[in-house]
């Protein structure tokens, strides 16, 4: 099948990005085929070999201004939502991070035309007049769980979809059962085959293949589950009521975009969403909200290093829980205006217990960063992780750096302040990496963070942004895994 997207070649270090991996293959001439395949093999070998690291020399107070990029977790569903219409959708403020490039590739694989003027890009134009390939293949899903977000739009538009099961990841099992049971309530028939979710609406013709409105009560609050079913419901036959929905700003941003496309939705920002299905959605233009996790990470960076950071292009309202907790821990944070925050450290940091919760509570995506701060606070901080069962992978690495902490199931007990010293540590997931970067910023000597491809999935230009405010951090293009034996975490 022929892909319609343009080839975009860009740089992440020296890596090439090509939206049309699948589509481009069919355009190759037979004579050039073998040569191209060899080049592809070499490129893939090169990719496998390269394993960048960060080298941080800690001890610098960060001072200056940082501009926050668009929210990864908003941009992902927003891009998937472009599958709901045959018309052109322009999306702005897309963060220049790897996951969004993967989403671009996935949409192209499905036959959408994804256009950008540079790579990586913050403005995307997506057009999907036809979708000839309703599939999210394993190769793309395995690198980005958010690929599951294409299931709802595909089912809404085509009544059929084949999406690879995401499987577990470093932070927990992360099932998608709630997405699937909601689609079944809406009339989908779902089977699992060879690691794929195969879903279809029984019946013939466009009318027969339409999902029907349903009353869904999510057993557990799920962010991508809410987003997937919300998108599915926009084109369903009749009204859908979703209860116990996620209220994250990223869900609200998706509602705003869908409404611009002609969707009829009520209840945004609340736990109950009411969607009246329409026959068709139209094209639109949308700017994604600022990344509250990136902003929160820089708030911690300012506080932990005793610096003075002005954080612009952010949404202070989305930071309430993080601001309150950091203030309790001794950081001085001011809201300068509607899009600007200022954080000043310098005062003694003090222990403050923290429990992760769904929005508007303290985000699980900020837990590792907060743990780094807790290592520097005087007293004992209890950190309780309620969202994911295995999100303390950074703990053993922080212990390697000298943190005084122990784990008890879903609770971490951190005693501070501890004098951290630079070590070789390994990133295990996106937010764990951010926690280790923050720990490295206050450690004495050199910290080497291995496997930073995790951080490249979700933080735009983190090295450049940190350097601009005085951090001594550099990316080292390395090879090999740099695997080391991990330090056992004491269990209380
Ligand atoms: N869950 C189920 N069944 C489901 C869905 C979820 O049991 O069908 C459980 C999960 O296992 C978890 C809890 O419900 O224990 C919440 O998971 P949720 O579905 O809300 O997580 P998600 O939608 O997969 C999004 C973000 C995550 C963020 C979580 C929680 C995106 C693309 N991802 O994941 O972001 O941690 O919500 O806020 O929006 C990150 O950016 O680093 C990241 C992991």
351/387 same-domain check: yes
Per-residue pLDDT of 377-388, as tens digits, reads: 999 999 999 999
Tell me: pLDDT of 389 over 80.
Answer: yes
Q: CB count, 10 Å around CB of 206?
A: 11
Q: Which atom of ligand 1 is nearest to the CA of 430?
A: 42
In a domain, 89, yes or no: yes
Average confidence (pLDDT) over 350-369: 98
Tell me: pLDDT of 455 over 50.
Answer: yes
Name the residue of 102, 220, 271 to mutate for ligand 1: max ligand atoms within 8 A of Cβ: 220
3-state secondary structure 3-45: CCCCCCCCCECCECCCCCHHHHHHHCCHHHHHHHHHHHHHHHH
- For residue 141, how far is its CA from the centre of ligand 1 (angstroms)? 15
Cα–Cα distance for residue pair 346/308, rounded to 1 Å: 9
Q: Which atom of ligand 1 is nearest to the CA of 180?
A: 8
Any atom of ligand 1 within 6 Å of the Cβ of 179: yes
Any atom of ligand 1 within 6 Å of the Cβ of 427: no
Confidence of residue 402 (pLDDT cuts 50, 70, 90): very high
| Residue 169 annotated as catalytic | yes
Tell me: pLDDT of 2 over 80.
Answer: no
Element (H, E) at 92: strand 88-92
> Percent helix, strand and coil across the chain, each rounded to 5?
35, 25, 40
- 48 Cβ neighbours under 8 A, 6+ residues apart: none
- For residue 326, how far is its CA from the centre of ligand 1 (angstroms)? 24
Name the residue of 99, 174, 183 to mutate for ligand 1: max ligand atoms within 8 A of Cβ: 174
Mean pLDDT, all residues of the chain: 89
In a domain, 162, yes or no: yes
Any atom of ligand 1 within 6 Å of the Cβ of 294: no
- For residue 388, how far is its CA from the centre of ligand 1 (angstroms)? 8
Name the residue of 387, 393, 459 to mutate for ligand 1: max ligand atoms within 8 A of Cβ: 387
Tell me: pLDDT of 487 over 70.
Answer: no
118/170 same-domain check: yes
Residue 172: the pLDDT is 79
Residue with CA closest to ligand 1 atom 20: 222
Average confidence (pLDDT) over 110-124: 93
In a domain, 9, yes or no: no
CATH of the domain at 311: 3.65.10.10
Instruction: Pick 84 or 477 by higher pLDDT.
Output: 84
Question: What is the pTM for the complete model shown?
Answer: 0.91
Residue 344: the pLDDT is 96
Reference 459, options 476, 479, 442, 437; nearest CA is: 437
Residue 467: the pLDDT is 98
In a domain, 431, yes or no: yes
Confidence of residue 118 (pLDDT cuts 50, 70, 90): confident
Cα–Cα distance for residue pair 375/359, rounded to 1 Å: 25
Average confidence (pLDDT) over 183-189: 98
Reference 321, options 297, 356, 289; nearest CA is: 356
Q: CB count, 10 Å around CB of 207?
A: 10
Average confidence (pLDDT) over 55-66: 98
Average confidence (pLDDT) over 422-443: 96
281/308 same-domain check: no
- For residue 156, how far is its CA from the centre of ligand 1 (angstroms)? 22
Any atom of ligand 1 within 6 Å of the Cβ of 388: yes
278/318 same-domain check: no
251/311 same-domain check: no
Residue with CA closest to ligand 1 atom 27: 365
Any atom of ligand 1 within 6 Å of the Cβ of 233: no
Average confidence (pLDDT) over 465-474: 98
Half-sphere exposure of 367 (CA within 13 A, CB side): 29
- For residue 224, how far is its CA from the centre of ligand 1 (angstroms)? 6
Cα–Cα distance for residue pair 205/208, rounded to 1 Å: 5
DSSP string, 179-192: HHHHHHHTT-EEEE
Residue with tokens 């403005």: 123
Cα–Cα distance for residue pair 445/286, rounded to 1 Å: 44
Q: CB count, 10 Å around CB of 382?
A: 15
319/443 same-domain check: yes
Cα–Cα distance for residue pair 171/317, rounded to 1 Å: 27
Percentage of the chain modeled with pLDDT above 70: 86
Write out the residue range of the structural domain in which residue 315 sits.
50-68+290-486
Tell me: pLDDT of 7 over 90.
Answer: no
Q: CB count, 10 Å around CB of 271?
A: 15
Tell me: pLDDT of 351 over 60.
Answer: yes
Angle, vertex CA 182, rays to CA 131 and CA 148, nearest 5? 45
Residue 147: the pLDDT is 95
204/297 same-domain check: no
Domain count, the chain: 2
Domain endpoint, select from 261, 287, 313: 287
Any atom of ligand 1 within 6 Å of the Cβ of 224: yes
228/357 same-domain check: no
Tell me: pLDDT of 202 over 60.
Answer: yes
Cα–Cα distance for residue pair 355/149, rounded to 1 Å: 27
Per-residue pLDDT of 210-265, as tens digits, reads: 999 999 999 999 999 999 999 999 999 999 999 999 999 999 999 999 999 999 99
User: Omega before 40 cis (within 30°)?
Assistant: no
260/296 same-domain check: no
Residue 5: the pLDDT is 42
Any atom of ligand 1 within 6 Å of the Cβ of 54: no
Any atom of ligand 1 within 6 Å of the Cβ of 83: no
What tokens were used for 275? 């969607």
Tell me: pLDDT of 352 over 50.
Answer: yes
Tell me: pLDDT of 10 over 90.
Answer: no
62/77 same-domain check: no
Average confidence (pLDDT) over 184-188: 98
Residue with CA closest to ligand 1 atom 11: 174
Q: Which of 8, 169, 245, 314 is catalytic?
A: 169
Domain endpoint, select from 287, 311, 342: 287
Per-residue pLDDT of 19-48, as tens digits, reads: 654 433 323 333 344 445 555 555 555 455
């Amino acid at each position: 099948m022929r892909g319609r997207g343009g080839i975009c070649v860009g740089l992440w270090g020296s890596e090439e990005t090509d939206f049309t991996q699948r589509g481009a293959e069919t355009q190759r001439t037979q004579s050039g085929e073998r040569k191209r395949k060899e080049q592809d093999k070499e490129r893939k070998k090169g990719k496998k070999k390269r394993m960048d690291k960060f080298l941080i020399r800690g001890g610098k107070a960060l001072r200056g201004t940082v501009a926050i990029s668009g929210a990864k977790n908003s941009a992902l569903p927003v891009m998937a939502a472009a599958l709901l219409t045959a018309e052109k959708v322009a999306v702005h403020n897309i963060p220049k991070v790897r996951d969004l490039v993967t989403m671009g590739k996935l949409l192209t694989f499905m036959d959408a035309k994804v256009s950008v003027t540079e790579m990586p890009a913050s403005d995307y134009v997506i057009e999907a007049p036809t979708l000839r390939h309703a599939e999210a293949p394993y190769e793309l899903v395995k690198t980005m769980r958010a690929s599951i977000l294409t299931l709802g739009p595909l089912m809404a538009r085509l009544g059929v979809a084949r999406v690879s099961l995401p499987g577990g990841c470093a932070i927990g099992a992360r099932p998608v059962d709630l997405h699937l049971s909601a689609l079944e309530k809406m009339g989908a028939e779902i089977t699992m085959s060879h690691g794929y979710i195969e879903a279809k609406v029984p019946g013939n013709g466009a009318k027969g293949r339409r999902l029907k409105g349903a009353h869904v009560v999510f057993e557990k609050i799920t962010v991508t589950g809410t987003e997937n079913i919300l998108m599915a419901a926009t084109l369903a036959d009749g009204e859908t009521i979703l209860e116990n929905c996620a209220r994250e700003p990223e869900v609200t941003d998706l509602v705003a975009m869908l409404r611009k496309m002609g969707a009829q939705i009520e209840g945004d920002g609340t736990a109950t969403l009411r969607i009246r299905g329409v026959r068709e959605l139209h094209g639109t233009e949308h700017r994604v909200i600022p990344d509250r996790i990136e902003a929160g990470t820089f708030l911690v960076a300012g506080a932990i290093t005793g610096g003075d950071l002005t954080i612009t292009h952010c949404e202070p309202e989305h930071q309430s829980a993080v601001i309150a907790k950091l203030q309790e821990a001794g950081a001085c944070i001011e809201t300068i205006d509607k899009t600007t925050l200022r954080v000043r450290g310098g005062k003694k940091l003090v222990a403050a217990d923290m429990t992760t919760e769904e929005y508007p509570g303290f985000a699980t995506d900020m837990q590792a960063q907060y743990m780094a701060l807790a290592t520097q606070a005087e007293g004992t901080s209890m950190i309780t992780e309620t969202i994911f069962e295995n999100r303390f992978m950074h703990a053993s690495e922080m212990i390697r750096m000298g943190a005084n902490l122990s784990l008890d199931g879903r609770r971490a007990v951190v005693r501070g302040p501890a004098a951290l010293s630079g070590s070789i540590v390994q990133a295990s997931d996106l937010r764990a990496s951010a926690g280790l970067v923050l720990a490295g910023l206050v450690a004495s000597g050199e910290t080497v963070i291995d496997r930073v491809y995790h951080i490249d999935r979700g933080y735009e230009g983190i090295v450049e942004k940190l350097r601009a405010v005085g951090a001594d951090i550099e990316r080292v293009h390395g090879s090999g895994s740099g695997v080391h034996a991990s330090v056992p975490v004491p269990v209380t």
